[in-house]
Structures are given as structure tokens and as C-alpha cells.
A and B are shown apart, each in its own frame.
Chain A
Amino acid sequence: MNYDERLLDGSALVAVAGRIDLSNADAFKDALSATLAKVRTALILDLAGVEYISSAGLRSLMIVFRASKAEGKAFGIAALQPLLLEIFTISRFNLVFPLFETVGQAIEKLAPDAINSLPVS
């Protein structure tokens, strides 16, 4: 799993790639928690490079999503591959997390102040 964090204007855009499963779900959660601690406004995940996420990975997302809500910070997930979107839908996490088709849409909604600063494809 690759984890690429970019911080700007109180928000963070994290691009994740690879597989998130039982073997790295804890490390993923710890990395997200560390990023969340640096954020004032929004944590946005770009999961375009993620090909698979297991229940353990989804739980890591859940924990960080809960923490972001408790801290009054926005949280969003963007750019799911079709197979990953199916996993989110079957597990009903599509009803839990704010999902966005593109990173740009997520930034526009959750971190508008950063829209001109964050690299958006």
C-alpha cells in the first residue's frame, strides 16, 4: 500500500494505492489518524489507486471518519474504482461515508479554500 499525504491550508489530500487488508489495516488507520491530527478543515482521500479493501480496511476508515466527526473536521472519499465502489455498496459503507466521483468535487464541497492550491487532476 502506498500512502501519499499532501497538506495545504488546513486540509489534507491523501492518495492511497494498492490493497488495504488485514495485513496493513492498522498501519493505514494510524497513518490516517496522524494526518487527521494535522488537519483543521477537511481530510479527503483519493482512493483511485486502491484495487481492494477488506473489512479490516473499511473499519479503519470508519474509525477515522468517526474521529473526524468528533473533532468537527470534514471527511470525504473520492475517485473509487468501479470494483471498489461495489465493495462499498455491498458492505453499505456507501451509506456511511461521503463519497465523491472525483477529487475535485470532494475539494469543492469539503475544502473550498484549498481548491486553488491542491493539485487536482
Chain B
Amino acid sequence: MKIVFWGTRGSLPTPLNAKAVQRKVVNALVKGAGKNLDTEEKALAFCDRELSFAESRTYGGNSACVQVDTGGSDYLLCDLGSGAREFSLSALAKHGPANPQTYHVLISHVHWDHIMGFPFFVPAFIPGNRIRIYSCHPKVEQAIRGQNHQPCFPVEFEALAAAIEFVPLEPDKSYEIAGSVVTGTKQLHGNDSYGYRIEKDDRSFVYTTDSEHKPEDSAEMERAAAFFRNADLVVFDAMYSLADSISVKEDWGHSSNVIGVELCQMAGVRQLCLFHHEPVYNDEKIDSILAETIRFEEITRSGQPLRIWTAYDGLVIEL
């Protein structure tokens, strides 16, 4: 199983502006001054070896879209945020428009950042493609049809040429989708959201975003840990700091890196990926949160080590 991140930002797309790009270039030039960087290979090695992630790259600005590659011919996606456009262009470049594909999509909920990529999901415009949109959330069909409707978008849903089906799921029930076993669970979020556990062969992946966890609610913490149990990877909503999530941003529907580590430790999870980054965070801030989360896992570890990642557009994690 391979997890490919096409959109990782929370709430709304957050592109780098010209000044931020210039700052990275200037910093890299200053740090590389006097070094022999006269080939692309040498420059790339310098970037990898001597610059931090935030100095040489960016965590990306697209909103939620994560591909689960289970090795089959059908595609499986979690959410259709703005990253879905990048994904669809990549799939189209690989197969060409003349080779129809089947796309299975699990939708966590219908807040805009999780569906806004669908109007730009190129396979939807091409006859022969099949798009099956699954969710435990009851408003998905209404929201996606409503998005492709004037005056919000010029192409009506009915004009899309692909065969598009909406498939309701029930939480806590397992389904076979794209050759995997998929189970949904209800999460605490405004207007509800749903997390999904995806299992194939001996690998398990949990996609849980836009989900608030109340640390004092031991029953809910245990329920979440049971859903994560022994997963190879949990992609987790770590939008806020713990202090914010249980004070000024309590009941805003998001969680923190600290709760992510605690739940994954309770559940015996192998890898945790911080996801749904706060839009006000720049690359340096996300770098520092990753370092702090790695340290937090070290100082609170009581069982097996938990590997910590932070998501960026383009990250690939092999399970």
C-alpha cells in the first residue's frame, strides 16, 4: 500500500507568494555562496544535505486530497479538496483521455475545502470514466451537485460526461471498495465528519481529518484508539496546538499534534502523519511543529516507537 498526498492544507488552499519564494531563493544562494554548485546534481545534493525542508521546499498549499494506492487498477482517493485537480491531471497524463479509468472517492464531509477540487477534476469531463463517490455523510450528493451549479460554477453537474455515482455508507460497517476493506466512523466536527480505515492484505491506513477529540472524554478517546488500533499509518488532523484546541478554539472541530501522538500511542500505531495544516502556518512553523512532535513522542513513549511525519503536497509514504 502506498499513500500519496496531493493536498495537505486545512481550511483553504494556501499558496506561497512571490516574496516567500524569493526569501527561500535568497537564503539558499547565501548559504550556497562559495560552494561549487555548478551542476543541477550538486545543487540538489546541497539542498538535500544542507538546507532544511522549509528552506528548500514547501509543505504545499492544496486542500485535502490523499490517494491510497493499493496496487489495483482502480484509483482510491480520500477527499476532493483542491489537491484533487493535481491528482486528476497526473492520472490523465499517465493514461491519456482515451483510456477510461475508475475512480473511487471517500468523502470525509462536505465543508468546502474537502470538495472544492471536484469542479476541476478532469476525469469527470471525459466520457467513459467512472467516478464512485462514497461517504457516511448524508449531504455529499447535495453538496457536490450544488457546487457544479450556477452561479457558483459554469458547468452544471448534469453536463459532466463521466458516469458519476453516489454511494452512501453506514458508519461502523465494512465495505469492499477498490479491492480494499473500508470502514467509516463518525467524528466530532461541525455538521459531522467521518474518518475511514482502509485495509488491504496485511496493511492498514486510517484517514482521520476534521475531527476534534476531547481529552477528558475517556470513552471517546478509547473509541478513537480502537479505530486506529495497530494501523500502519494514521493521517491525523493536527491543525491546532493542544492549548488552542481546548481553550480559545474548543469546539472548532480540529485536533492537535499532542492528541495525535497520545491516541496513536494508546492504539499501537506505527506511523503518524500530521495533516490539515493551519493556513497561517508557514513552512518554518510546520518544520518546527514536526521537530516538537518527534520530541514529544520520544519523551512520552512507553511502548513501540511511533514514527512521525508531517504531510506535504507530493509526499509518498510506502506501507
Specify which of B218, B244, B293 is in contact with A22 (CB 8 Å cutoff).
Answer: B218
**Least CB distance, B204 to chain A, in whole angstroms:** 24
List chain B residues, Cβ under 8 A from A56. Answer: 215-216, 218
Inter-chain contact A62/B247, CB cutoff 8 Å: yes
Decide yes or no whether B292 CB sits under 8 A from chain A: yes
List chain A residues, Cβ under 8 A from B102. Answer: none
Inter-chain contact A54/B215, CB cutoff 8 Å: yes
Inter-chain contact B299/A86, CB cutoff 8 Å: yes
| Cα distance A89–B256 in the bound complex, in angstroms | 14
Contact pattern, A 38-67, Cβ under 8 Å of B = 1, otherwise 0: 000000000000001011101110100000
Contact size class for B? 20 to 34
Decide yes or no whether B246 CB sits under 8 A from chain A: yes
Decide yes or no whether B17 CB sits under 8 A from chain A: no
Contacts A91-B256, A91-B258 hold; do A55 and B246 have CB atoms under 8 A apart? yes
CB contact list, B213-237 vs A, under 8 A:
215-216, 218, 221
- Tell me which of A2-10, A70-78, A92-100 binds B: A92-100
List chain B residues, Cβ under 8 A from A95. Answer: 243
Inter-chain contact A92/B216, CB cutoff 8 Å: no
Contact pattern, B 143-162, Cβ under 8 Å of A = 1, otherwise 0: 00000000000000000000
Inter-chain contact A59/B256, CB cutoff 8 Å: no
Number of A-B residue pairs, CB cutoff 8 Å, is: 58
Contact pattern, B 283-296, Cβ under 8 Å of A = 1, otherwise 0: 00000000011011
Specify which of B244, B246, B292 is in contact with A90 (CB 8 Å cutoff).
Answer: B292
Decide yes or no whether A87 CB sits under 8 A from chain B: yes
List chain B residues, Cβ under 8 A from A58. Answer: 215, 242-243, 246
Inter-chain contact A86/B295, CB cutoff 8 Å: yes
- Which residue among A54, A89, A90, A91 has the maximum number of chain B CB atoms within 10 Å of its CB? A90
Closest chain A residue, CB of each to CB of B218: A22
| Cα distance A56–B258 in the bound complex, in angstroms | 11
| Cα distance A96–B183 in the bound complex, in angstroms | 38
List chain A residues, Cβ under 8 A from B292. Answer: 89-90
- Enumerate chain B interface residues (CB-CB to A < 8 A): 215-216, 218, 221, 241-244, 246-247, 256-259, 262, 292-293, 295-296, 299-300
A-B contact pairs, 11 of them (CB 8 A): A22-B218, A54-B262, A55-B246, A58-B242, A58-B243, A59-B246, A91-B243, A91-B256, A92-B244, A95-B243, A96-B243
6 further interface pairs, Cβ-Cβ under 8 Å (given A90-B295, A91-B258): A22-B221, A55-B215, A55-B246, A58-B246, A86-B299, A90-B292
